[in-house]
Amino acid sequence: MHTIAKHLGVSATALYRHIPSKQALIELCTDTISEKVSLPITMKWEPFLYELAREYRRVALSMPGSVEFIRYVGLQTPEALKVVEHSLGVMRQAGFNPEAAFMSVAGVISHATDMVLHEEQDLKKREALMKENASPPNLPEVLAPFPNTLWALGDNFMIDHEHNFETGLKIIIEGIKSVYDMK
């Protein structure tokens, strides 16, 4: 709180007049993120989950570091609960049982936030390499002791975050259809 107050050019006491605690500040940040998530219009569960995950990712990418707030607080703030409530309603209407509905919604949101964390970490690594004027590590050399990982990644592995996100999302939603026998 002192660092934030200093950054804002006010005293910590003045900041505490508006925000009572660090926890309250984190919850406000989480609410700010959640209220920027536009809920998909469709009420069909499968396209709804695709659109929800893409929207969560879009919002989180537009606000670097935001996933840390969501992870710290969870989806328990008023604005986050609005997203969850609407999403569970779509799943309920589609005939999901409560556990399946919750696991499906949580699964796609977790996938979106996980992928954003990876993207932000990769960006930080690239920026650090550029700042140091260094070359990226030689992947085949680094992974030589890990032949299965090298096999999976290939010699010229370049991370395509968009592709990885969409592929992972498809795996999750196809898994939901299979596990919960939903068409």
DSSP assignments along 59-98, one per residue: HHHHSTTHHHHHHHH-S-SHHHHHHHHHHHHHHHHTT--H
Residue 66 or 159, more confident: 66
Is residue 2 pLDDT above 80, yes or no? no
Residue 168: predicted pLDDT? 95
Residue 156: predicted pLDDT? 57
Task: State which of 89-98, 131-140, 144-153 shows the largest mean pLDDT.
Answer: 89-98
Q: What is the pLDDT of residues 52-83, one digit of tens each?
A: 999 999 999 999 988 988 888 888 899 999 99
What sign results for the dihedral spanned by CA atoms 19, 20, 24, 26? positive
Rounded Cα distance between 56 and 30, Å, is: 12
Is residue 118 pLDDT above 80, yes or no? yes
Rounded Cα distance between 10 and 32, Å, is: 22
Within the chain, how many helices (H) and strands (E) appear? 10, 0
Which percentage of the chain shows pLDDT scores above 90? Answer: 50
Q: What is the pLDDT of residues 18-35, one digit of tens each?
A: 888 888 888 888 899 999
Is residue 139 pLDDT above 90, yes or no? no
Residue 170: predicted pLDDT? 97
Which bin fits 133, alpha (ψ -120 to 50), beta or left (φ > 0)? left
